[in-house]
């Protein structure tokens, strides 16, 4: 519909595509120009070795696996394919904690958070940059973590929903979402909250209609929109630092 802020892409989870990391994170179509993240050019990637055999849990799995699985593995690993799975070392800060990681280049930030770091508060709603459920902050800016490869985040500060509260004290936006019932099933909620905080920080929360526009990249299928607007408006009016 009109005003739709969703970036229409056809990025499928397996496509080995690198995305530009600018503010309007726009995925490139397959076979179109591949853009390397800036950070990559500054860093040494030559440490990347064929370490996956050692690192993967495949061997452990084999020891426990029933015959069918062993058969699959005995078929041998295709070296050419293996090349593509070499891991890349990188460091980034997540919720104030410095992480030194070794990741497959194709791993999205979203999958890294959810599947490898067990930070499951960030949600996957579409994996194609169309719903906003995966919104996190990278150096303070909201991004769709499903559209961002982890290797693009080298050196960045990532904040997820788990890192928003200060100790036991909820972030004002979290408290407002509870008070105004800004959710139902709660699945879009972490993304809405991260977006809502960014919306205020960006200076895009000056009226209800402005908030509606700038929150339209976050779908809520339960239809909590009116209360999301109330929550963000209240936080903005409350004047607390977000």
Partner 1 sequence: MRKVVMGDRLDRVEGQLKVTGVARYAAEYNLPGVAHGVLVTSSIPRGRISKIDTKAAERAPGVLAVVTHENAPEVPGYEASVNNEGSRVYGQEFRLFYDDKILHNFQPVALVVADTYERAVHGAFLVSIGYEKELHNTSLRDNLDDAFTPADQKDHKRGRPDAYKEAPVLVEQEYHTPIQVHNPMETHSTTALWEGDKKVKVYNKTQATKISQKEISKAFDLEKENVEAHSPFVGGAFGSSSRLWPQEMAAIMGAKVTGRPVKVMLMRDQVFNMVGYRPASVQYFSVGATAEGKLLGIAHHARGFTSRYEQFTERLLDPTKSMYSCPNMDTSYKLVSLDMSTPCWTRGPGETSGSFALESAMDELAYALKMDPLELRKINYAEKDPENDKPWSSNYLLQCYERGAERFGWSRRNPEPRSMREGEWLVGLGMASGIYKAARDRAEARVKLLADGSVLLRSAVADVGPGSATIFTQIAADRLGLPMEKVRFEWGNSVFPYAPGQFGSHTTASVGSAVYEVCTDLKQRLQELAVNQPGSPLYGAQAADLFFEGNTLKTKTGNASLRYADVLELHALKELEVSRESRGGPELDEFSSKSFCANFVEVRVHAATGEVRVAKVVSAVDAGKIMNHKTAESQVYGSVVWGIGIALMEEGIIDHRFGRHLNNDLADYHVPINADVPDIDVIFTDLEDPIVDPMGAKGIGEIPLIGFTAAIANAVYHATGKRITKLPITPDKLL
Q: Residues interacting with ligand FES, by CB under 6 A?
A: 124-127, 129-134, 144, 146, 183-189, 220-222, 224
Among 32, 41, 66, 166, binds partner 1 (CB under 8 A): 66
Which does residue 9 bind out of ligand FES, partner 1, none, counting CB within 5 to 8 angstroms by kind?
Answer: partner 1
Q: Is residue 35 near partner 1 by the rule CB under 8 A?
A: no
Question: Please, which of residues 150-179 interact with partner 1 by CB under 8 A?
Answer: 160-162, 164-165, 170, 174-175, 177-179
**158 CB-contact burial (10 Å; exposed 0-12 / middle 13-18 / buried 19+):** buried
Of 19-27, 33-41, 211-219, 233-241: span binding partner 1 (CB under 8 A): 211-219
Q: Which is nearer to ligand FES, 132 or 163 (CB)?
A: 132
Q: Which is nearer to partner 1, 5 or 38 (CB)?
A: 5
Three-state secondary structure call for residue 2: coil
Q: How far is the CB of 149 from ligand FES (least distance, A)?
A: 13
Among 226, 213, 149, 216, smallest CA distance to 180 is for: 226
- Counting Cα atoms < 13 Å in the Cβ hemisphere of 45 gives 15
Q: How many whole angstroms separate alpha carbon 158 and alpha carbon 136?
A: 7
CA torsion angle 18 23 28 33 (round to 10):
-70
Of 28-36, 41-49, 120-128, 151-159: span binding partner 1 (CB under 8 A): 120-128
Neighbours of 119 (CB within 10 A): 19
- At residue 226, φ and ψ (nearest 5 deg) are -55, -40
Q: How far is the CB of 118 from partner 1 (least distance, A)?
A: 5
- Interface size with partner 1, residues (CB under 8 A): 91
Q: Is residue 138 near partner 1 by the rule CB under 8 A?
A: no
């Amino acid at each position: 519909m009109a005003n739709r802020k969703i970036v229409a892409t056809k990025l499928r989870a397996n496509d080995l595509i690198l995305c530009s990391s600018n503010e309007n994170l726009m995925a490139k179509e397959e076979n179109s120009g591949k853009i390397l993240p800036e950070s990559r050019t500054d860093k040494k990637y030559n440490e990347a070795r064929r370490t996956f055999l050692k690192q993967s849990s495949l061997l452990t799995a084999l020891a426990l696996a029933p015959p069918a699985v062993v058969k699959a593995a005995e078929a041998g690993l295709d070296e050419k394919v293996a090349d593509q799975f070499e891991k890349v070392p990188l460091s980034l800060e997540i919720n104030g904690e410095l992480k030194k990681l070794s990741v497959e280049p194709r791993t999205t930030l979203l999958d890294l958070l959810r599947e490898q770091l067990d930070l499951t508060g960030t949600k996957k709603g579409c994996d194609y940059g169309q719903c906003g459920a995966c919104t996190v902050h990278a150096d303070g800016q909201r991004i769709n973590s499903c559209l961002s490869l982890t290797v693009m985040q080298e050196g960045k500060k990532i904040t997820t929903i788990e890192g928003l509260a200060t100790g036991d004290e909820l972030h004002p936006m979290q408290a407002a979402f509870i008070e105004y019932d800004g959710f139902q099933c709660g699945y879009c909620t972490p993304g809405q909250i991260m977006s809502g905080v960014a919306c205020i920080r960006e200076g895009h929360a000056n009226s209800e209609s402005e908030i509606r526009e700038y929150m339209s990249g976050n779908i809520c299928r339960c239809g909590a929109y009116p209360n999301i607007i109330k929550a963000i408006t209240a936080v903005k009016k409350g004047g607390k630092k977000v």
